[in-house]
Structure 1
């Protein structure tokens, strides 16, 4: 895609079980678009939206307390983006900080304000829940996502983690943003 899309009006709401197929399609297409050249292509090509939807339904049914899935709908009611946040995970321990676990936008809607609406609602809800800061992990080489988060007030906090896909290192960088006043 070249150039920003025209802004679209979206409504952010909590996700329903029936949204899993569309959310999985957005997630898989998002990976295949955003991570091209950053991780093995055979891994991206093998991603299956139907298998992801099955896994997503199981995760949705047993989401831990405090984990919230949000979707963005366009004016026609089509789900065009998905975000998930909850308590920050430090291994198996949940901390007092919030974490943005995922944020994906239909690749055809990038630059139209969908991601900004989802991120803004996640930040608002985490601040309202009393979290002092929000953290997220982003692939070190994903410059588009890094710019997006930096424009939203997030910045790298110096923490990096190795991440491996099919034997290929894909480093991640942790970003943080204070919440509240």
Structure 2
């Protein structure tokens, strides 16, 4: 019997040491996902180090015990991340959790990291007592929407506009998707 190499792919809670890599993944993902949606000047101003510093604060000193950052790893290298929290939307119930960030490194797309990470996100939200998940998507991010909808996420008619520069010159429209977390699809499989 020959031994086959086993892929070292996993998802776990982020450590402070991961946050620089998380910032780099976010910067690459934003540049890739939003290249057609944002002006070049905004894309040029994306600062991976600033993202990393913000994620370090989120990991080291989260606002509550239900604010979490997860990382997808391949051979110990961060290739994606997600952050979960209680939803702060005005219409949210205490049992509504939100995926506040979800990004896979563009060089690692299509390798199963997104599916693993989203399964861990759902498990984390359930473990934190949430019964419904929410995520805001940028209108035009068809790749992420095409990934989420077959996984059980659906639009719920909520929408908003983000002002990225504070002066109204650069905005992004978003739609909200939601999913029911009360049943675990893995438990329903035959």
Asked whether the two chains share a fold, i.e. TM above 0.5, the reply is: yes
Divergent runs of 4+, >6 A: none
Correspondence list, 1:85-104, <5 A: 85-90=84-89, 95-104=94-103
SS across alignment from 1:95: coil
User: CA 1:169–1:48 in structure 2 vs 1: closer, same or farther (change >3 Å)?
Assistant: closer
Q: Which sections of structure 2, spanning at least 5 residues, go unmatched?
A: 1-6, 184-190
Q: Distance in 1 between matches of 2:31 and 2:94?
A: 31
Contact 2:8-2:76 at 8 Å conserved across structures: no
Residues 15-46 of structure 1 show CA distances to partners (whole Å, capped at 9, x for unaligned) of 00000110000001000000111122211111
**Structure 2 partner of 1:3:** none
| Alignment equivalent of 1:180, drawn from 165, 177, 182 | 182
Contact 2:84-2:100 at 8 Å conserved across structures: yes
Contact 1:89-1:95 at 8 Å conserved across structures: no
Q: Distance in 2 between matches of 1:57 and 1:161?
A: 27
TM superposition score normalised by structure 1:
0.88
**Structure 2 partner of 1:169:** 171
TM superposition score normalised by structure 2:
0.84
Q: Which sections of structure 1, spanning at least 5 residues, go unmatched?
A: 1-7
Which has the greater radius of gyration? 2
1:129 deviates by 2.8
Correspondence list, 1:13-52, <5 A: 13-52=12-51
SS across alignment from 1:32: helix
Q: Distance in 2 between matches of 1:130 and 1:59?
A: 20
Q: Are 1:107 and 2:106 matched, yes or no?
A: yes
SS across alignment from 1:160: strand
1:94 deviates by 7.7
Q: How many residue pairs are counted as aligned between the two chains?
A: 172
CA RMSD of aligned residues (A): 1.7
